[in-house]
């Protein structure tokens, strides 16, 4: 039968491979904690769309009356 490494030995080897900064970010369960940088998006430049000129109040009232007649 193959000899399986002891889980304690494998955990020690993994811990040795991690940098000090990574080990400081670990919580009690051994999970790496998220930093604020992990939650910041980089969406890129905003491209504005041409939405046209705003409608006048008179034009909006006229359209409102037309739509409400039916």
Q: Which domain holds residue 28?
A: 1-33
User: Around Cβ 18, how many Cβ atoms within 10 Å?
Assistant: 13
23 in any annotated domain = yes
pTM for this one? Answer: 0.29
62 in any annotated domain = no
Determine the distance from the C-alpha atom of residue 64 to the mean position of all C-alpha atoms in its chain, rounded to a whole number.
Answer: 41
Structural tokens at position 6: 């002891």
9-27 per-position pLDDT tens digit: 666 666 666 566 566 666 6
42-65 per-position pLDDT tens digit: 777 877 788 788 899 999 999 999
User: How many domains are contained in the chain?
Assistant: 1
50 in any annotated domain = no
């Amino acid at each position: 039968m193959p000899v399986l490494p002891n889980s304690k030995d494998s955990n020690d080897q993994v811990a040795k491979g991690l940098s000090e900064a990574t080990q400081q970010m670990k919580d009690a369960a051994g999970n790496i904690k998220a930093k604020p940088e992990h939650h910041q998006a980089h969406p890129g430049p905003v491209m504005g769309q041409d939405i046209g000129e705003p409608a006048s109040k008179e034009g909006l009232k006229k359209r409102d009356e037309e739509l409400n007649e039916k």
